[in-house]
Amino acid sequence: MLVVMQHGATQAQIDRVARVIEEMGYQARPMPGEQRTAVGLVGNDGRVDASRIEALEGVAEVIHVSKPYKQVSREWQPQNTVVTIAPGVSFGGHDVAIIAGPCSVESEHQIVTAARAVRAAGASALRGGAFKPRSSPYAFQGLGKKGLEMLAVAKRETGLPIVTEALDEEGAHLVAEIADCIQIGARNMQNYSLLRAVGRIGKPVLLKRGMAATITDLLMSAEYILAEGNSQVILCERGIRSFDTTTRNLFDLTAIPVVQKLSHLPMIADPSHGTGLRDKVTPMARAAIAAGADGVIVEVHPTPDRALSDGGQSLYPEQFARLVTEIRAIASAIGRSVLPTPGTAPVTVG
Amino acid sequence: MLVVMQHGATQAQIDRVARVIEEMGYQARPMPGEQRTAVGLVGNDGRVDASRIEALEGVAEVIHVSKPYKQVSREWQPQNTVVTIAPGVSFGGHDVAIIAGPCSVESEHQIVTAARAVRAAGASALRGGAFKPRSSPYAFQGLGKKGLEMLAVAKRETGLPIVTEALDEEGAHLVAEIADCIQIGARNMQNYSLLRAVGRIGKPVLLKRGMAATITDLLMSAEYILAEGNSQVILCERGIRSFDTTTRNLFDLTAIPVVQKLSHLPMIADPSHGTGLRDKVTPMARAAIAAGADGVIVEVHPTPDRALSDGGQSLYPEQFARLVTEIRAIASAIGRSVLPTPGTAPVTVG
Amino acid sequence: MLVVMQHGATQAQIDRVARVIEEMGYQARPMPGEQRTAVGLVGNDGRVDASRIEALEGVAEVIHVSKPYKQVSREWQPQNTVVTIAPGVSFGGHDVAIIAGPCSVESEHQIVTAARAVRAAGASALRGGAFKPRSSPYAFQGLGKKGLEMLAVAKRETGLPIVTEALDEEGAHLVAEIADCIQIGARNMQNYSLLRAVGRIGKPVLLKRGMAATITDLLMSAEYILAEGNSQVILCERGIRSFDTTTRNLFDLTAIPVVQKLSHLPMIADPSHGTGLRDKVTPMARAAIAAGADGVIVEVHPTPDRALSDGGQSLYPEQFARLVTEIRAIASAIGRSVLPTPGTAPVTVG
Amino acid sequence: MLVVMQHGATQAQIDRVARVIEEMGYQARPMPGEQRTAVGLVGNDGRVDASRIEALEGVAEVIHVSKPYKQVSREWQPQNTVVTIAPGVSFGGHDVAIIAGPCSVESEHQIVTAARAVRAAGASALRGGAFKPRSSPYAFQGLGKKGLEMLAVAKRETGLPIVTEALDEEGAHLVAEIADCIQIGARNMQNYSLLRAVGRIGKPVLLKRGMAATITDLLMSAEYILAEGNSQVILCERGIRSFDTTTRNLFDLTAIPVVQKLSHLPMIADPSHGTGLRDKVTPMARAAIAAGADGVIVEVHPTPDRALSDGGQSLYPEQFARLVTEIRAIASAIGRSVLPTPGTAPVTVG
């Protein structure tokens, strides 16, 4: 940590900063400059409360040199964490994984039909919401526990592992009973009670980036889960807020290589929420893989124009099948391949 | 709702849109234009799922004419809702209210000292966090239940009503036992489970705008609380994310008159989080009142340079006392006054 | 400048950084830390090219401790610059100034009527565009040179000094012939050729903040004008881009005290463009003055519903008159007053 | 255009809106709804001034159904515009083009070395700035006219066409004498005088998206060039401002398919400015091509750690050579290829 003093700070003010740093148990290293003095804090263990120092007289600014996160960082663990949500379904290794399915579980027929279609096309896992965070209290909120039971049927029928969202601690326990990976949505990325709860449950977690979350914020939220002893965390870029509302969100694909350099956790992308527009899902899923994403999560509905939520950004099954073919070609172009569908032999591109 | 067809959409596509609208139980009103046809949907009750229509062939765009919120709107209730959190402490009436206190409750001595100081200076209510949402799992997380008990002591000692944050449903019930107003922080603004919980508890709620929340998002989150039968909601602007990181957040004061026109709920402002800089709190608190805010919530700490959190943006007690004087002058300039401290006679500016 | 090395950087990499810093003519001061080493660059004169150092192996990050601007900073000149555009019409002193008038000059009758109305209400200067930067090439682009002549008539009739925009160097010379202050609009804030041109012309300049400009960017653009020897620069906050499109721009009033601390230049605010909504202009003009702005610039049109541009955000003359009264009350509440209309005795608020 | 009336607007107010629309020469089509009435404006030719109607009493909102741009739209011209800047060097056709070279021209040796290196690696055109828009007036501003002459030498030596930036009308004429494509940078995207000037000059233009420009803004700026009779415009995504400053800009790759649907103009991407980080240039260039970009423009410097500007984001020549190989593989995966270097036979990927 570097404490930059104001131009014209007195020696007494500089000494006071050094004294407070030492009272806090660290070493102070003053560094006089041409225009102003800075005081380095040596020994930062990530628990330094900068605001105490910011409040001292003569301090212009406190600059953080160390990163605030620990266990999620590559400095803590240099090699990739590979998160395995079911036998043969891993994120963060050589292969890229494809999670697909409808926004919401609407009926047993719908989810089983969707599961069969995405499995046939090459998906590695099934998504589908039973608990839905909707911006309107009057909109369809998901089938809840019944929806989870329908997901269990779809899993039995197709062998696809299940990724589904939990909105609160009680729901997380219900989800953990049937799902293979608990999703924490963008709106709950800083719901720390929920993050701690899924940390304790210990199942793999898919953590989506919040709409106003910096990359540091995303990693700090993952840190909450790891701090509870659960390192099975998959991160997901799904678009952030920007001033251009042409697309539903601004899909920040640069976040993929940025996170992969800073952290050992796998990072996937959600082009359905990232763009909000069906005809942009395919090019942006390709782009995500080309940028190095460890997988994608895509909305696919058997009949999008009858969907109870997000129909406008869901792919038709035949569009999804073409998308998988394109993803295979892109993965192959960068020396990776697509994870084989669970229970099948690997597919290779000639 | 207006469904804009693509330039060159066929009559069959237009007819299909009209048919789907009618199947959904509304009236369709085609409106041919010079460049393209639009189809109006008449009878929108706020439950129309636009994505079903967006997915139809030939549709360029769906434009929402009705607002998605209902009970929070001025069209639902033209006169202001006045939220009374304790006898004589109301938000949304003629007077502006001042909530003040430290970021976190740190000890009984600290919170009682702070309470006395802000009461003496003219505050109407005491803030102080017992449950703290911190971006790092290793940072001070608040004293929890013990902190609530200390707030109860401070209330007994000073008569100031208490505003404090809850992070989850369990915590909301604990907070409700001692606090007069339950705060939902920016990070939980779209934690719908928590919004529903505080809606059912029925105590006044202070709902802070999320960092990426549009004004519509804020009103929709308030709608969740009203939909549970609790209309005692105070909204709060506290800064949103922007590309300029000179200030911690971008304090959007225009949101105040915008919300006041769209909704009957009171709207206050938090210049401490809105700016993150102690020396900007006073001018921006004045600006908030000048813009028409129904109150402000301000961080004040007896000894900011020893604060366990947010010390750098907390006012010293004597700075707060001057701030109250300035707020009185501004309120008076626009024909309002500052709420008298509970249990005292009104203060007037000559 | 502080060069932060990667965790695990070798001694050879650290030495190389130090050597390059010394080759560039500065001193290097290595500062080993618990987690990583940093190397301070001492003697930064504002011309250091950080990217050369960023490119060296083992460098994690370069942190700028010095500000990139010089002549605009308070460290360069502690006391306020007072910009006088005409006898008695100054920005940056004790009084706040009000510039008002229509978006565009439309006819001699219109601009003279507007000038008389705003003068009667208490304005200190007249605004009105002759050269208009319009997002569409097919929209009304202003009357050009003829518009300037009409402004000259309005000035003769009312005694109000003129503030009007220039879009290019040629236009700047034309504007300089009749106007008292040359406005550089938000879209041209980083048109460095134009900034240099108005720097050389030497007339007072009103420099508006760009839609994506940080406060540092704004100050750097002003630095271009001062670097040509012209320190008569008034800065202006007029709203920046944000994710919420409820208002046309996000009016960043905190920029006012932030700029006033960093720079000696006067800073005013434009609530008309800052909000884009007529009924928000009055509360936000009040808020700007309460935040400490040295003035406001407001769109007023004799008949807004017939305006050729920006009619929806222009005040009616009687609304403007009420606004001036309210600004007087707010200015008085913070110990300032409104500049008297040129040629009249000062107005005081009882 | 749709004029939405306030809930409770009177019949007289609705009639007034209809009358004004008809006075303006269009047809009014009232459309009463459940909650409020809307009035459609039929016959919009792109010149309607909405603000005149917004200002009428009882109007809640004006919604634009037609797009404000014309000649740049796919509705105006369905087939792609192919912009040819030199024989065999086209943008917008089947092949993707690669523009490469240093940020600034620094010396004849440097630019010729760079040109040879990027040509050898497979570039189709040479970039290099002679006029540099720098945020600091004290930073290196480019070699100006001399730099242009050095570019002419590099062109003679390698046969690569030249893309270089102009900052003002005078510079645009100088650039046009030697360059094959005039670049308008992000900071000048709304410098309408300059846009008109390059429209009149008639040479191909590379128009970069501004840092706060929506896609509509970008297309409107291109419209200024087309309105002068020059349709040889290549658009370029180069990153926009966002709240996360981890990367220099937020690279909005979804803009590529969005623009390609709305407009017939070619769209390329600049991953060097889009990310600002050398090690992110390669993955994001690949992602741009996977998203469907018609080309990329990349900074390459013979010795980045001695560059006078932007060294930290410039590729080493050998990194660029690998990038071209990867781009070829990605282009091939989506059925495109990379433009052959001018004067050579096409390269195919097996």
Note the pLDDT of residue B231.
97
The contacts of residue C46 (CB under 8 Å, 6+ apart) are C66, C68, C70, D136, D138
Confidence of residue C47 (pLDDT cuts 50, 70, 90): low
Beta bridge partners of A31: A38
**pLDDT surpasses 80 at B349:** no
The alpha carbon torsion through B240, B246, B248, B252 (nearest 10 deg) reads -30
Pick the CATH number of A83-333 from 3.10.450.350, 3.40.50.1700, 3.20.20.140, 3.20.20.70: 3.20.20.70
| Topology of the domain comprising B2-63 | Alpha-Beta Plaits (3.30.70)
B314–A49 CB contact, under 8 Å: no
**CA–CA separation, B196 vs D65, rounded Å?**
37
Which chain A residues have a beta carbon less than 8 Å from that of C242?
243
Confidence of residue D275 (pLDDT cuts 50, 70, 90): very high
Query: pLDDT tens across B281-333, in order?
Result: 999 999 999 999 999 999 999 988 778 777 788 999 999 999 999 999 999 99
Query: pLDDT tens across B177-232, in order?
Result: 999 999 999 999 999 999 999 999 999 999 999 999 999 999 999 999 999 999 99
**CA–CA separation, A56 vs A5, rounded Å?**
10
Note the pLDDT of residue B350.
40
Of B276, B334, B266, nearest in space to B296 by CA? B266
Note the pLDDT of residue A346.
44
Note the pLDDT of residue A246.
84
Q: Backbone phi, then psi, for D82, in 5-degree steps?
A: -105, 120
B52–A220 CB contact, under 8 Å: no
Which H or E element spans position A89?
strand A89-91
**CA–CA separation, B6 vs B20, rounded Å?**
17
Mean pLDDT, rounded, of chain C: 91
Of B187, B193, B305, the CB nearest to A55: B305
When computed from its CA atoms, the radius of gyration of chain A, rounded to whole angstroms, is: 23
Q: Which chains touch B (3 or more CB pairs under 8 A)?
A: A, C, D
Instruction: At C179, list the tokens.
Output: 């106007």
**CA–CA separation, D196 vs D228, rounded Å?**
6
Q: Could you give the C-alpha distances from C232 to A37, C181, C264, in angstroms and in order?
A: 32, 9, 11
**A75 in contact with C, Cβ within 8 Å:** yes
Which chain B residues have a beta carbon less than 8 Å from that of C252?
242, 244, 250-251
Instruction: At A255, list the tokens.
Output: 């976040």
**C338 in contact with B, Cβ within 8 Å:** no
Note the pLDDT of residue B347.
43
Decide: helix, strand or coil at residue B44: coil
Residue B44 Cα, gap to closest chain D Cα (Å): 7
**CA–CA separation, A221 vs A193, rounded Å?**
11
Query: pLDDT tens across C143-179, in order?
Result: 999 999 999 999 999 999 999 999 999 999 999 999 9
Of D51, D307, D310, the CB nearest to C311: D51
**CA–CA separation, B276 vs B296, rounded Å?**
15
**CA–CA separation, D288 vs C255, rounded Å?**
36
Note the pLDDT of residue D114.
97
Note the pLDDT of residue B52.
76
**CA–CA separation, A133 vs B210, rounded Å?**
15
Note the pLDDT of residue B302.
93
Alpha helices (H) in A229-307, listed in sequence order: 255-262, 271-275, 278-290
**D19 in contact with C, Cβ within 8 Å:** no
Of B32, B36, B243, the CB nearest to D243: B243
Note the pLDDT of residue A172.
97
Note the pLDDT of residue C347.
43
The contacts of residue A263 (CB under 8 Å, 6+ apart) are A69, A72, A73, A74, A219, A222, A235
Domain boundaries, chain D: 2-63, 83-338
A138–B54 CB contact, under 8 Å: no
The DSSP annotation for B98-127 comes to: EEEE-SB---HHHHHHHHHHHHHHT-SEEE
D33–B40 CB contact, under 8 Å: yes
Q: Which class for D72: exposed (0-12), middle (13-18), buried (19 or more C-beta within 10 A)? A: buried
**CA–CA separation, A109 vs D171, rounded Å?**
66
Give the whole-number percent of chain D exceeding pLDDT 70: 96
Mean pLDDT to the nearest integer, B106-132: 97
**pLDDT surpasses 60 at D155:** yes
Mean pLDDT to the nearest integer, B248-266: 96
Nearest residue in chain D measured CA to CA from B244:
D243
D75–B44 CB contact, under 8 Å: no
Which chain A residues have a beta carbon less than 8 Å from that of C45?
34
Of B32, B35, B63, the CB nearest to D63: B63
**D344 in contact with C, Cβ within 8 Å:** no
Instruction: At D158, list the tokens.
Output: 């390698």
Instruction: At C17, list the tokens.
Output: 């950084």
**pLDDT surpasses 60 at D307:** yes
**D33 in contact with B, Cβ within 8 Å:** yes
Nearest residue in chain D measured CA to CA from C225:
D137
Give the whole-number percent of chain D exceeding pLDDT 90: 71
Q: Name which residue leads in pLDDT, A48 or A162.
A: A162
Of A262-266, B35-39, D228-232, the poorest mean pLDDT is in B35-39
Mean pLDDT, rounded, of chain D: 91
**pLDDT surpasses 80 at C344:** no
**pLDDT surpasses 90 at C235:** yes
Mean pLDDT, rounded, of chain A: 91
Confidence of residue D347 (pLDDT cuts 50, 70, 90): very low
B284–C275 CB contact, under 8 Å: no
Strands (E), A103-204: 125-127, 162-165, 181-184
Note the pLDDT of residue D170.
95
Which chain A residues have a beta carbon less than 8 Å from that of D326?
333-334
The DSSP annotation for B250-307 comes to: B--TTHHHHHHHHBSS-EEE-HHHHH--HHHHHHHHHHHHHTT-SEEEEEB-SSGGG-
**pLDDT surpasses 60 at A347:** no
Q: Which chains touch C (3 or more CB pairs under 8 A)?
A: A, B, D
The answer to whether B283 and B275 are in contact (CB under 8 A) is no
The answer to whether B161 and B155 are in contact (CB under 8 A) is yes
Q: Terminus-to-terminus CA distance in chain B, angstroms? A: 53
Cα A184 from chain centre: 8
Note the pLDDT of residue C346.
45
| A167-192 per-residue burial string, b: 16 or more CB within 10 A, e: under 16 | bbbebbebbbebbbbbbbbbbbbbbb
Nearest residue in chain A measured CA to CA from D279:
A257
Query: pLDDT tens across B153-185, in order?
Result: 999 999 999 999 999 999 999 999 999 999 999
Confidence of residue A136 (pLDDT cuts 50, 70, 90): confident
Which chain A residues have a beta carbon less than 8 Å from that of C44?
33-35
Q: Could you give the C-alpha distances from D22 to A120, C140, C251, C303, D206, in angstroms and in order?
A: 58, 20, 35, 19, 41
Q: Which amino acid would we find at residue B44?
A: N
Residue D281: HSE in the Cβ half-sphere, 13 Å Cα cutoff: 26
Mean pLDDT, rounded, of chain B: 91
Of B165, B137, B139, B151, nearest in space to B107 by CA? B151
**pLDDT surpasses 50 at C227:** yes
Nearest residue in chain D measured CA to CA from C239:
D212
ipTM, interface predicted TM-score of the complex? 0.90
Mean pLDDT to the nearest integer, D254-265: 97
- The region, left, alpha or beta by phi > 0 then psi within -120 to 50, assigned to residue C31 is beta
Mutation site, C76, C169, C192, interface D, largest D CB count within 10 A: C192
Q: Could you give the C-alpha distances from D126 to D286, D297, D298, D327, in angstroms and in order?
A: 19, 9, 10, 17
Mean pLDDT to the nearest integer, A174-185: 98
Confidence of residue C57 (pLDDT cuts 50, 70, 90): confident
**C325 in contact with B, Cβ within 8 Å:** no
**pLDDT surpasses 90 at D27:** no
Q: Name which residue leads in pLDDT, A34 or A19.
A: A19
In the A/C pair of chains, how many CB contacts fall below 8 A?
67
Which residues numbered 148-207 in C keep a CB inside 8 Å of some CB on D? Answer: 167-169, 171, 187-188, 190-194, 196
Confidence of residue B345 (pLDDT cuts 50, 70, 90): very low
Which chain D residues have a beta carbon less than 8 Å from that of B68?
none
Superfamily for domain range D83-338: Aldolase class I (3.20.20.70)
Nearest residue in chain A measured CA to CA from B55:
A312
Instruction: At A8, list the tokens.
Output: 């014209």
CB atoms under 10 Å from CB of C323, counted, come to 24
Of B128-132, C39-43, D7-11, the poorest mean pLDDT is in C39-43
Beta bridge partners of A46: none
Query: pLDDT tens across B289-303, in order?
Result: 999 999 999 999 998
Decide: helix, strand or coil at residue B310: coil
Treating both helix axes as pointing N-terminal to C-terminal, what angle do D317-333 and A317-333 enclose, rounded to 10 degrees? 150
Instruction: At C227, list the tokens.
Output: 């670097």
D70–C314 CB contact, under 8 Å: no
The answer to whether C140 and C134 are in contact (CB under 8 A) is yes
Of D49, D83, D26, D73, nearest in space to D227 by CA? D73
Across chain A, which distance is largest between two alpha carbons, in Å? 75
Note the pLDDT of residue B344.
59
Note the pLDDT of residue C345.
47
- Token look-up 């190095």 returns A292
Residue B5 Cα, gap to closest chain D Cα (Å): 10
**CA–CA separation, C323 vs C120, rounded Å?**
13
**CA–CA separation, C50 vs C24, rounded Å?**
11
**D49 in contact with B, Cβ within 8 Å:** no
Q: Which amino acid would we find at residue B129?
A: G
**CA–CA separation, A155 vs C170, rounded Å?**
71
Note the pLDDT of residue A95.
97
